[in-house]
Amino acid sequence: MIRRTLLALALAVTAALPAQVAVKSHPAATQLASHDPWWKHGILYEIYPRSFQDTNGDGIGDINGITSRLDYIQNLGIDAIWITPMYPSPQIDFGYDIADYTAIDPQYGTMADFEHLTAEAKKRHIRVIMDYVPNHTSDQHAWFKESRSSRTNPKRNWYIWNDGIPASSPNLTKLQQDNEHVGLHGKVVPPNNWQSWFGHSAWEWDAKTQQFYYHHFYVQQPDLNWRNPEVVKAMLDVLRFWMDKGVSGFRIDAVSRLFEDPNLHDDPNLPGLNAFGDPNIVHKYTDNLPEVHDMLRRMRAVVDKYPGDPVLISEADEPNIFELAKMYGQHNDEIQLPMDFQVADINDLSVPKFRKLIDEVEHNPANGQPYFFFGNHDQDRIWDRYSVGVSDPAMKERIARIMATLLLTSRSTPQMYYGDEIGMVTSTPTRIEDVKDPVGITGWPKEKGRDGERTPMQWDSGKDAGFSTAAKTWLPIPTTYTTTNVKAESTEPDSLLNWYKRLIALRRTNPALISGDMKMIDTTNDNILAYTRTAPAGESVLVALNFTDKPQTLSVPVILSTLQTDDPRLIHASKSKFITLAPYATFIAELK
């Protein structure tokens, strides 16, 4: 039904608004930005390899699958793909538990497949960004196996080991008491109240060597000891290994967690319990320690030795703009693109929140390039996250267009997540026995895990949505695949997919969108988020997004012509002093 409504609108829009209206060619545009590194204007696309394309029929995506879809990615207008980890792994955290940093997991293919992928990507001018997971390895990594083999093993100090404290110590938390063991000198508990991000104590007892090891994430993900120079060397060598293979940079996982307080202070408590039933705490002594920045500079120095403007992207949910700005480095010598979790974590359509946080990062003290994303493999899909309480699918689709527009018309470097461009939905398991992500089992039913946003890509309406030929795919195919799929949407002029494609084409060709500044306008309006982008040579574009379910009016500068809208009444909006946007409508126009 939703597709039919859209088709009606599509016919109305496309009849009056030929496709080229959104892809006007500005020959000067590329010159304007030629001095900039590619990542300042490039569009990145996150691929979750388990779920993108399966070519060997085992129900799990693979590297050859990604290669087979490069034409699609190129056609979409993507500059770089970030592939989440595909290194050998027991797959407890679906690749974020790495057993070997410099190899390929056989379930995804071979190193030759990877080299073929990068070569084919290069032919299509698509760069490859690897996921770099420095905070922890798998407990099956050879380093950890050695480390845990004895207290005197040379790799013992590659991880964070601790004797614990006597179980008779005062002021123990329940999590400490629940983690009591018999050590060399009697009963012991973990040295402090530190908690794993995925629930419960962050200390795991190793019965053989009678010490605890620290894990910020799952028990099977012991933290590396970044205070050990041998670890630093080995991990910087990992960067070199992949740079030598021709990749264009790294997305660095959980980077703010690299260091812990050597004095093991207890983290401060907050009121209440979290989804795992543990006390809420501030991860003050295990997150964002100043030592991180020295390591970021060292990582940057490694990749900077390579040609082609390699990029570092950081995953760190910084609490405010000042912490975020620090990620760029005092001399812009750390991360070029710190992911903006401040903006990504606005989980509702709040004009004041988006305006404030976008404005903050626009004027960040480091003058660094902002980096936005609204979807990824750890959070509900865009389709659902910004439309809580909205039941009309046509309105949900408009909201998806709003978010696409905000992502692709802001000055920030945009990162897309596979499947958001077709409107894939979050498909959260309804029974605990179906959950694959361990965090969803520990946290059930309050925290159901991240399976919902990791389901297979919906390519067509055939078997397994064109993702696989397997009898059973690793996660089920959402029922929406019959209409929400690449093939169907490619032929619908007004589909979400074509909306994305037109936006991307606009972003790549319009001088204001390529290099213009970004200025919020009508800043007391709580219903419409509106801003202009103005290029150094004066070309200017207006973007207006109605964040509400009612028509809203905006006073506008002089409009030259509409560039893209899903409100048929705004196709000929030029010369208006006021425009009225339909509920959840988007309007992009060229200004005089």
Q: Is 315 noted as a catalytic residue in this protein?
A: yes
Contact between 451 and ligand NOJ by CB under 6 A: the answer reads no
Rounded Cα–Cα distance for residues 406 and 412 (Å)? 10
Task: CB nearer to ligand NOJ: give 242 or 481.
Answer: 242
Among 54, 62, 79, 93, binds ligand NOJ (CB under 6 A): 93
**Using CB under 6 A, which residues numbered 224 to 243 contact ligand NOJ?**
none
The site map against ligand NOJ for 552-581 (x = CB under 6 A) is ------------------------------
CA distances, 539 to each of 28, 513, 543, 592 (Å): 12, 9, 14, 8
SS (H, E, C) 374-404: CCCCCCCCHHHHCCCCCCCHHHHHHHHHHHH
Q: Are strands 586-591 and 559-565 parallel, antiparallel or unpaired?
A: antiparallel
Task: CB nearer to ligand NOJ: give 278 or 378.
Answer: 378
Nearest distance in Å: CB 58, ligand NOJ: 22
Closest of 209, 194, 216 to residue 284, by C-alpha: 194
**Using CB under 6 A, which residues numbered 405 to 424 contact ligand NOJ?**
none
Nearest distance in Å: CB 316, ligand NOJ: 10
Q: Is 146 noted as a catalytic residue in this protein?
A: no
Among 315, 318, 360, 567, binds ligand NOJ (CB under 6 A): 315
Rounded Cα–Cα distance for residues 418 and 48 (Å)? 8
Among 253, 360, 384, 420, binds ligand NOJ (CB under 6 A): 253
Q: Are strands 186-189 and 181-183 parallel, antiparallel or unpaired?
A: antiparallel
CA distances, 479 to each of 395, 483, 496, 539 (Å): 20, 9, 18, 44
Among 13, 73, 129, 254, binds ligand NOJ (CB under 6 A): 254
**Cross-strand bridge partners of residue 436:** none
| Active-site residue identified among 54, 267, 315, 318 | 315
Amino acid code (one letter) for 271: P
Nearest distance in Å: CB 497, ligand NOJ: 25
Contact between 378 and ligand NOJ by CB under 6 A: the answer reads yes
Among 17, 133, 406, 543, binds ligand NOJ (CB under 6 A): 133
Rounded Cα–Cα distance for residues 584 and 427 (Å)? 24
Contact between 447 and ligand NOJ by CB under 6 A: the answer reads no
Nearest distance in Å: CB 430, ligand NOJ: 22
Contact 131, 251 (CB under 8 A): yes
Rounded Cα–Cα distance for residues 28 and 40 (Å)? 17
Contact 205, 212 (CB under 8 A): yes
Tokens 């990791």, residue located: 454
Task: Please count the residues of this chain forming the interface with ligand NOJ, following the rule CB under 6 A.
Answer: 9
**570, two tokens:** 């705004």
Nearest distance in Å: CB 313, ligand NOJ: 12
**Cross-strand bridge partners of residue 541:** 533, 590
Closest of 299, 412, 431 to residue 359, by C-alpha: 412
Contact 524, 513 (CB under 8 A): no
Residue nearest to ligand NOJ (CB): 96
Task: CB nearer to ligand NOJ: give 201 or 495.
Answer: 201
Q: Where are the alpha helices (DSSP H) in 107-224?
A: 111-123, 142-147, 174-177
Neighbours of 199 (CB within 10 A): 20
SS (H, E, C) 300-361: HHHHHCCCCCCEEEECCCCCCHHHHHHCCCCCCCCCCEECCHHHHCCCCCCHHHHHHHHHHH
Task: CB nearer to ligand NOJ: give 286 or 484.
Answer: 286
Closest of 521, 592, 527, 572 to residue 553, by C-alpha: 527
Rounded Cα–Cα distance for residues 377 and 344 (Å)? 13
| Active-site residue identified among 62, 79, 105, 253 | 253
Nearest distance in Å: CB 499, ligand NOJ: 27
Task: CB nearer to ligand NOJ: give 373 or 481.
Answer: 373
Nearby residues of 204 by Cβ (< 8 Å), 6 or more positions away: 212, 213, 215, 219, 222
Nearest distance in Å: CB 378, ligand NOJ: 5
Task: CB nearer to ligand NOJ: give 315 or 464.
Answer: 315
Nearest distance in Å: CB 133, ligand NOJ: 6
Rounded Cα–Cα distance for residues 201 and 442 (Å)? 13
Task: CB nearer to ligand NOJ: give 398 or 454.
Answer: 454
Task: CB nearer to ligand NOJ: give 133 or 559.
Answer: 133
Among 39, 45, 96, 212, binds ligand NOJ (CB under 6 A): 96
Nearest distance in Å: CB 299, ligand NOJ: 17
Rounded Cα–Cα distance for residues 330 and 321 (Å)? 14
Closest of 516, 491, 503, 511 to residue 586, by C-alpha: 503
Task: CB nearer to ligand NOJ: give 62 or 93.
Answer: 93
**Using CB under 6 A, which residues numbered 10 to 49 contact ligand NOJ?**
none
**Using CB under 6 A, which residues numbered 179 to 218 contact ligand NOJ?**
217
Task: CB nearer to ligand NOJ: give 82 or 547.
Answer: 82
Any idea what DSSP says for residue 210? T
Q: State the catalytic residues.
A: 253, 315
Residues that bind ligand NOJ (CB under 6 A): 93, 96, 133, 217, 253-254, 315, 377-378
